[in-house]
Structure 1
Amino acid sequence: MYVGRKAPDSWDASVYLCGPTPTDPAEPSWRPAAVAALRAAWAGPGRLAVFLPEPAAGGDYPAYADQIAWEEVAMRRSDVVLFWIPRDMARLPGLVSNIKWGAWYDSGRAVLGAPPEAERMAYLLHFADALGVPVERTLPGAAEAALRAVGTGGRRTGGERAVPLPVWRSEPFRRWYADGRAAGLRLLDARVEWYEPAPSPAAGPAWLLTVTVAPGDGAAPSVARLLAAQGQGMLM
């Protein structure tokens, strides 16, 4: 989905393509190649949604505030935020990408890609290594790392799309959501406020999720917070 366009009503996996966009019209964007790599490598049974924060060929960017709002919603709903930063300080500095990396590097959903010649990447690579963020040096490799993270995905519709796969697949969320649906609850929206990866393959992640739900009795929608702690299940 190009910037400003409405997202599909459902998907099985979603990837946001984050990184610098060339300002020179003569310089091609890297994102079409990333989309091609994702399309070639995707082996899931359902729909893979890919968010591109740039217009389609020949299109225009929305107003700046609308662009930022679209990007924030798209990243929040993405299962993976794939960073590709071919930084060249003279022509493609990627300064905004540093801000976005700072917002998402510890989300449990980041993949960092940069060619070996990319400039001033040491700080980003340091924290990727410290937190176990996948790092790739080619664009196809970064696309494959993103798809390894989502696996075969998981179908989500409507407000469910705001629950990223690491939370969607967790046992505390699945139990809470199954009980809620049995009572007629509808999930309208969600936001991950905090996420801590599982400390081992046998353990689950910890997370804090704000949810907006419509009760089955027809009452007005309400907002709640769900906290899952490692080894303790749902606490609230």
Structure 2
Amino acid sequence: MSSESLAAESLAAAPAPVEVVHVSQEPPGSWDAAVYLCGPTPTDPEEPSWRSSAVAALRAAWAGPGRLAVFLPEPEGSGSYPPYAEQIAWEETAMRRCDVVLFWIPRSMDRLPGLVSNIKWGAWHDSGRAVLGAPPEAERMAYLLHFAETFAVPVARTLPEAVGAALRAVGGGARRTGGERAVPLVVWRSESFQSWYAPRRAAGCRLLDARVEWYERAASPDADPAWLLTVTVAPGDGAAPSVCCLLSAQGQGMLM
């Protein structure tokens, strides 16, 4: 077998890359899918964080073909947390960029109450990107489970099942670079977004940033979701970047 064939076989056999991004760290410049691990963090240093098990499950299950970025709001190893305002800013930016916000809430009111997780759930439960996981013994979950059912959020009762639901949501992903990373898959895959973006990208425009302002899931599997997106675009002719809003409703896109 030639060296080229051996290299190709080795590449094919290699696992798809999973890149973990801890709080305060910069994310990779491109990815095919991104998952944020949201939920309570143990305050007892003797109790391991559930996120290490979630990362291990993601590494084992991610089949690619490209890069999966996994965001953890915890420092790496024995590192320290950043100042509180910086922590919050990093978390909000990371969640905004992610394709799936995976909630794992093993709530115990005397040990792991997860009160901040309630607020984050309230912000993301209707985003089209949430997955809710909680063991059957988790306390005071009825309200969260009610809205998961209302908004068709996948619900899992074990951490591996929650990881599986997150990966089913992203599928094989889609490569996005730079500002494209701020467009989640639920919008990126829509026909109306691609109809707007493809000709601009072909003309040399660059998407510098994006923010989903509103989202409503599709009424049927073969329909597009509705969404409102604020985008920052650098024209291909070198002119100054511009900010505009894109609205897609009933499968029709509109520039505002």
TM-score (norm 1): 0.98
The CA distance in 2 between the partners of 1:226 and 1:81, in whole Å, is: 23
Q: Which residue of structure 1 lines up, in the alignment, with residue 8 of structure 2?
A: none
For the aligned residues, what is the CA RMSD? 0.7
Q: Which residue of structure 2 lines up, in the alignment, with residue 109 of structure 1?
A: 129
Residues 45-84 of structure 1: matches in 2 within 5 Å? 45-84=65-104
Residues 103-142 of structure 1: matches in 2 within 5 Å? 103-142=123-162
The CA distance in 2 between the partners of 1:50 and 1:146, in whole Å, is: 11
Task: Tell me by how many angstroms 1:234 deviates.
Answer: 0.5
Task: Tell me by how many angstroms 1:215 deviates.
Answer: 1.1
Q: Which ranges of structure 1 fall in alignment gaps of 5 or more residues?
A: none
Q: Which residue of structure 2 lines up, in the alignment, with residue 204 of structure 1?
A: 224
The CA distance in 2 between the partners of 1:131 and 1:201, in whole Å, is: 15
Residues 84-233 of structure 1: matches in 2 within 5 Å? 84-231=104-251, 233=252
SS at match of 2:22: coil
> Which amino acid letter does the alignment assign opposite residue 235 of structure 1?
M
The CA distance in 1 between the partners of 2:87 and 2:218, in whole Å, is: 34
The CA distance in 1 between the partners of 2:83 and 2:250, in whole Å, is: 42
The CA distance in 1 between the partners of 2:190 and 2:78, in whole Å, is: 42
Q: Which has the higher contact order (CA 8 A, sep 6+)?
A: 1
SS at match of 2:95: helix
Q: Deviations over 1:36-79 (max 9, x none)?
A: 11111111200000000001121100111110000000000000
> Which amino acid letter does the alignment assign opposite residue 23 of structure 1?
T
> Which amino acid letter does the alignment assign opposite residue 33 of structure 1?
S
Q: Which residue of structure 2 lines up, in the alignment, with residue 27 of structure 1?
A: 47
2:254 pairs with 1:235: yes
The CA distance in 2 between the partners of 1:5 and 1:230, in whole Å, is: 39
Query: Which of 34-43 and 105-114 deviates more?
Result: 34-43
Moved over 3 A (4+): none
The CA distance in 1 between the partners of 2:82 and 2:209, in whole Å, is: 24
The CA distance in 2 between the partners of 1:44 and 1:205, in whole Å, is: 25
2:37 pairs with 1:17: yes
Task: Tell me by how many angstroms 1:201 deviates.
Answer: 1.2
> Which amino acid letter does the alignment assign opposite residue 44 of structure 1?
G
Counting matched residue pairs gives 235
Q: Deviations over 1:118-155 (max 9, x none)?
A: 00000000000111100000000000000000000000
TM-score (norm 2): 0.91
Task: Tell me by how many angstroms 1:184 deviates.
Answer: 2.0
Task: Tell me by how many angstroms 1:203 deviates.
Answer: 0.9
Query: Which of 216-225 and 77-86 deviates more?
Result: 216-225
Query: Which of 39-48 and 98-107 deviates more?
Result: 39-48
SS at match of 2:229: strand
Task: Tell me by how many angstroms 1:183 deviates.
Answer: 2.4
Q: Which residue of structure 1 lines up, in the alignment, with residue 12 of structure 2?
A: none
Q: Which ranges of structure 2 fall in alignment gaps of 5 or more residues?
A: 1-20
